[in-house]
Amino acid sequence: MSSGGIVVAIDGPAASGKGTLARNLASHFGFHHLDTGLTYRAVAKALLDGGLPLDDEALAEQTACSIDLSNLDRSVLATHHVGEAASKVAVMPAVRRALVEAQRNFAQRRPGAILDGRDIGTVVCPDADVKFFVTANAAVRARRRYEEIVGSGTAVDLGEIEEDLARRDARDSLRADSPLIPATDAHLLDTSEMDIETAFLEAKRRIETAMAEKDGN
């Protein structure tokens, strides 16, 4: 148990539905929310904008140290190109160290903080009060991402999305530092067939139980 407010860790692969779940839960409970993927995306975007290499660890670390968590603009960071660059930047331990420190500070916020990412329950907040691992099979995730992109008015090929997700999954899951794996004490939410409302209700129930337990201590 953490000594600050309630800490909720939500991990899972790209397009699993973890972001929507985290936002809905944060809004319901009045907790702070940090999409930690945006922190890696911000580093990648700053390097891309500066015409700088994505694999210079010292440079990327310096960039990571200057990222302002209060100024993460989803509308410019959400692009596919930035996501791909972010997953390359995210393999570098010095970048992770810098961002994880900022993420841990965020997790202290009261009355509670919900962080979503790949390594929240395992590395960033191993003592989180509640942990979820949100997943869905590859075909469902690709279809979701496809509909999201087509819905925003951009033409895209479903096969290409499937390949991109598979490449991203492999890079995120096989890297040496903080790979994407469920924490042993995480509650698994498979959204392949479960709709977002059912996942929300299940997660809400678990958080309420954790809050009641924390109050009793």
Residues contacting 162, CB < 8 A, separation 6+:
138, 139, 142
Burial letters 175-184, b for 16+ CB under 10 A, else e: beebebebbe
Residues contacting 85, CB < 8 A, separation 6+:
41, 44, 45, 47, 48, 54
Q: Could you tell me which of 111, 161, 121 has the C-alpha nearest to residue 138?
A: 161
Distance (Å, rounded) from C-alpha 82 to C-alpha 66? 18
16 lies in the binding site for ligand DC (CB under 6 A): no
# chain residues binding ligand DC, by CB under 6 A: 14
Near ligand DC by CB under 6 A: residue from 29, 31, 40, 200: 40
Coil, strand or helix at 105:
helix
Near ligand DC by CB under 6 A: residue from 8, 10, 86, 165: 86
Near ligand DC by CB under 6 A: residue from 10, 14, 92, 134: 14
**Contact pattern from residue 104 through residue 123 relative to ligand DC, giving x for each residue in contact according to CB under 6 A and a dash for the rest:** -------------xxx----
**Which residues in 64-83 contact ligand DC (CB under 6 A)?**
83
| Closest distance of CB 159 from ligand DC, Å | 20
**Which part of the chain contacts ligand DC (CB under 6 A), choosing from 84-92, 149-157, 184-192, 195-203?**
84-92
Burial letters 185-206, b for 16+ CB under 10 A, else e: ebbebbbeebeeeebbeebeeb
| Closest distance of CB 10 from ligand DC, Å | 10
Element (H, E) at 8: strand 6-11
Phi and psi based region of residue 188 (left: phi greater than 0; alpha: psi -120 to 50; beta: remaining)? beta
**Which part of the chain contacts ligand DC (CB under 6 A), choosing from 36-44, 58-66, 125-133, 199-207?**
36-44
Which of 12/112 has CB closer to ligand DC?
12
**Which part of the chain contacts ligand DC (CB under 6 A), choosing from 34-42, 64-72, 106-114, 132-140?**
34-42
What are the residues binding ligand DC (CB under 6 A)? 14, 36-37, 40-41, 83, 86-87, 90, 117-119, 168, 172
